[in-house]
Structure 1
Amino acid sequence: MSTIPNLAPDLNFGRFWLLTEEGYLINDCQRSLIQDPWLPLVEEWMEGCVVGLGDRLHSLYLRGSIPRGLAVQGLSDLDGIVLTHQPLDDLTTQILFTLAQKLSRRYLFCPKVEILPLTLDDLRGDWAVLLATQGLNLWGQDVIPHLPPVKVSPALVHYLPTLEQDLQRVTTELRHSPTCTLSRCRWICPRLVRAGFELVMESEGQFTRDLGLSAVRFGVYYPQQARGMNLALKLALEPTGDRGGLLVFLQQFGGWLVREFGVNQQNSFLH
């Protein structure tokens, strides 16, 4: 049986996005909210991208907890978006990868530095929604004011549609490489929590990416599954090395999320 503890962590539960009178999400990212020790990391990331990309670069954006003033040392990643005029070649992509590795080694309080390259042509669908609601322009011409506003709607559902494939991939990796248990746990469990909130988001009429708040609101609508959600939250914050226990948990709770999403989709189709 799994040795993974079933504990709900004690943490700041986060906040919902504010809404306009018309119901559109208000992007609450601000440059002034980027505080030490994150500020030097962000500045070095910006400089590395500008120097490394040169005239290929259109603009730079930061998303996630850092530009919202909610970053937690040892937990929060730097989530950067590089907007370019054209797709990057392999050499330039490697420059960004090397930069991310260098910064991760230097700023040990930040578990991961992620640099997502997008082109102007990519700014539709999910990427446009992400940038409009969660992006902060740090360099170059800001495209966010030109993106369509976003309401709480299926347009914000990001994790559920790919959850089954994500679980299959992680399960395969865990079975073939026991040494990746911690990293795979750290990657998949936040996705479980956010996917769970996406099941109840439209009923809530509000949006959040904050893990604690997502777990709490999920439990209101699915009290019988709150135990599994609390464990997903625990493992997102404190990844386990128990490969067997993690595999069982992903099969059980992750499988339930996938099935429930399918049921909801079927019900929506019928109505």
Structure 2
Amino acid sequence: MSESASTGTGTSDDRGLSPDGTIRREGSLSRVPVVFAPVVEAARARITEAFDGARLHSAYIYGSIPRGTAVPGVSDLDLLLALRAEPTEADRAAARTIEAELDSSFGQIDGVGVLLAAAETLTSTFERNDLGFFLACLCTPLLGEDLAARLPRYRPTPLLARETNGDLHLLLPRWRRRSAEAATDAERRSLSRGVARRLVRSGFTLVMPQWGGWTSDLTESAEVFARYYPDLPERIEQMRTAARTGRAPSADPAVLATLIDDLAPWLAAEYLAVHGKKAPRP
């Protein structure tokens, strides 16, 4: 990839950074493609109906839709709800209802994911360089007070790399179990999408401090990884496969096996060797 190629969050000339060298917030409601505007408005309405002000602090949209790169019929809708207290089972049930209603109502999207977290957790010291970074830099405000005002400006540091993806090794048993239990193509596609995206993002953050910037674009993330592992062509090709799978999920068991049983263990071990383990949470 040439140095002038687009990152999806800016250009590779600025590498997703503001003039002061901090990571620029990558999304905006003004970037939402026209075809997805009704989806976003419906999400806003359904969230408001399901969660009153006593329960909901704020809501955010993230992913390709607010970045302006979503593809109709292919991209999914990703939402984060910051609650005034820790999520309850009733909150999770309401989130599942929102997911199902939006997914069935709009052909523009292929799946909906609603994350729930307490506002206090999102802004806590122990989540400062993980969920806090996620909210401040990767999420676009949709409803309520923006919690990013309570968080610092972030730089592409080894600390950020460790805290965002230094727990990859902990996911491997769960992924293997889900892969073994997947009985339908839909289940395998869903798993392949999530696994592939996490692996590409971990591959990118592995080398992020050296590259000195930020991108959420899967293709560029894989190519940035490739720059720093030129002597491992097999891993580069696997990372490129993961980037393609993250955009267009696969139900092929062989693809899942490559990602979960080959690329993931190597990447997890390399990540621990380079950045160490993510700090334990309370």
User: Shorter-normalised TM-score: what interval?
Assistant: 0.7 to 0.9
Report the Cα offset of residue 155 of structure 1: 4.4
Corresponding residue of 1:31: 29
Residue 168 in structure 1 maps to residue 173 in structure 2 = yes
Report the Cα offset of residue 33 of structure 1: 1.1
Corresponding residue of 1:44: 42
Q: 1:251 and 1:60, CA in 2 relative to 1: closer, same or farther beyond 3 A?
A: same
How far apart, CA to CA, are the structure 1 residues paired with 2:260 and 2:87?
A: 35
Aligned counterparts, 1:1-271, within 5 A: 14-16=8-10, 18-55=16-53, 56-122=55-121, 123-124=123-124, 125=127, 126-157=130-161, 160-179=165-184, 180-223=187-230, 224=232, 225-265=235-275
Task: Return the letter of the residue paired with 2:143.
Answer: W
SS of aligned partner of 2:51: helix
Task: Return the letter of the residue paired with 1:105.
Answer: S
**Alpha-carbon deviations, 1:111-150, whole Å to 9, x = none?**
2212222222112322211111122222222222232111
Report the Cα offset of residue 47 of structure 1: 0.8
Q: What are structure 1's unaligned runs of at least 5 residues?
A: 1-10, 267-271
Report the Cα offset of residue 205 of structure 1: 0.4
Tell me if structure 2 keeps the 8 A contact 1:167–1:188: no
Report the Cα offset of residue 248 of structure 1: 4.1
Tell me if structure 1 keeps the 8 A contact 2:195–2:259: no
SS of aligned partner of 1:149: coil
Report the Cα offset of residue 70 of structure 1: 1.7
SS of aligned partner of 1:54: coil
**Alpha-carbon deviations, 1:189-231, whole Å to 9, x = none?**
1111111111110110011111000011111111222122122
How far apart, CA to CA, are the structure 2 residues paired with 1:230 and 1:38?
A: 27
Q: What are structure 2's unaligned runs of at least 5 residues?
A: 277-282
Q: 1:175 and 1:135, CA in 2 relative to 1: closer, same or farther beyond 3 A?
A: closer
Aligned residues: 256
- TM-score, normalised by the number of residues in structure 1: 0.85
Q: Which has the higher contact order (CA 8 A, sep 6+)?
A: 1
How far apart, CA to CA, are the structure 1 residues paired with 2:27 and 2:259?
A: 34
